[in-house]
Amino acid sequence: MNLKFQYNKTSLQSLNKQLQVRQRALPTLKNKESALRVEVKLAKLKTAEIEEALEQLIRRQDKDLKMWNEFDSSLVEVEKVLIDYKKIAGVKTPELNDVKFRIKDYNLFLSPKWFPEGIHIIEELMKLVIEKELSVKKMEMLEYARKKTTQKVNLYEKVQIPAYQDAIMRIKRFLEDEENLAKAAQKIVKTRQQKAMEAEL
């Protein structure tokens, strides 16, 4: 990182301010990063749980495959998906609240007696699929935020803070050298003046 600065007190003050901003922000960023790391892990577990529930529900229906051939899957439609948004470590993430279904009319007397149970199973499947999609989306959002936060932590910690510290040190040394040179020059002038005054006497 190439910082542009001048070797003066104004530049020194400005760099000090920039350094302090980053040093103050760093602990907060690190806390956010570790919180996001935990949340990503939890979101992965939740997604795995939903996938497992979905697979179990599908496996339970395998034995009744012939029965499902009679079922018209277009009987059940998703009417509305209600989503809540929850902030996790500063990231707005989706949470499934509810799924509203529309059931098309069918003849109860001409349809097999297990149809109402079939409708319930289809609703459950659809709800799990939607929940899984939202869970994956939430996991991706949290992972993206974690990566960005990690990048910022690394940028501050490994690049910007050391660069500011280095620039401040260089300006301080320059100003000290300048001050020492000025003092030395004053001493030389004073010594010359004294010698000139002594010579006059």
pTM for the model stands at: 0.78
pLDDT tens figures, 112-171:
787 888 888 889 999 999 999 999 999 999 999 999 999 999 999 999 999 999 999 999
The top-level CATH class assigned to 25-189 is mainly alpha
Best CA proximity match to 38, nearest among 161, 155, 139: 139
- Per the structure block, which two tokens stand in for 141? 């959002």
- The rounded distance, in Å, linking the Cα atoms of 144 and 151 is 11
Query: For the segment 42-95, what is each residue's pLDDT rounded down to a tens digit?
Result: 999 999 999 999 999 888 877 766 667 777 778 899 999 999 999 998 899 999
- Burial (CB < 10 A; 0-12, 13-18, 19+), residue 5, is middle
| Alpha-helical segments (H) within the chain | 9-62, 65-69, 115-154, 161-200
Work out the pLDDT band at 107, boundaries 50, 70, 90: confident
pLDDT above 80 (res 183): yes
